């Protein structure tokens, strides 16, 4: 990982109860977070196929390279992309 620099903009805030586990916070707010990153430039590619009566489905989510600043507080976490 590299250190990122920039100015935070367009933050999203999730309420927490003294939780510092970012993965858990994002999992419990996954729909809101996916909507948020979609507005930042998320690309969604979906493919369905059927071969020999076998169905397969693939969804690829690609986010342009972006660094985020994450600020934890006692009652919320603020996630901001850096510009």
Domain ranges of the chain: 12-81
Report the Cα–Cα distance between both ends of the chain, in Å, rounded.
18
pLDDT tier, 1 (very low <50, low <70, confident <90, very high otherwise): low
DSSP 82: B
Q: Quick one: pLDDT at residue 14?
A: 94
Average pLDDT over residues 10-32: 90
Q: Quick one: pLDDT at residue 6?
A: 87
- CB-CB contact of 69 with 83 (8 Å): no
DSSP 53: T
- CB-CB contact of 82 with 68 (8 Å): yes
**Is the pLDDT confidence value at 34 over 90?**
no
pLDDT tier, 73 (very low <50, low <70, confident <90, very high otherwise): confident
Q: Quick one: pLDDT at residue 71?
A: 92
- C-alpha to C-alpha distance for 68 and 51, rounded to whole angstroms: 41
Average pLDDT over residues 15-44: 88
Q: What is the pTM of this model?
A: 0.70
Q: Quick one: pLDDT at residue 48?
A: 94
């Amino acid at each position: 990982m590299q250190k990122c620099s920039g100015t935070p903009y367009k933050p999203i805030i999730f309420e927490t109860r003294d939780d510092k586990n970012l993965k858990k916070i994002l999992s419990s707010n996954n729909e809101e977070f996916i909507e948020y990153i979609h507005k930042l430039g998320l690309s969604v590619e979906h493919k369905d196929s059927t071969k020999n009566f076998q169905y397969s489905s693939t969804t690829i989510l690609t986010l342009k390279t972006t660094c985020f600043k994450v600020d934890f507080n006692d009652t919320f976490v603020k996630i901001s992309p850096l510009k």
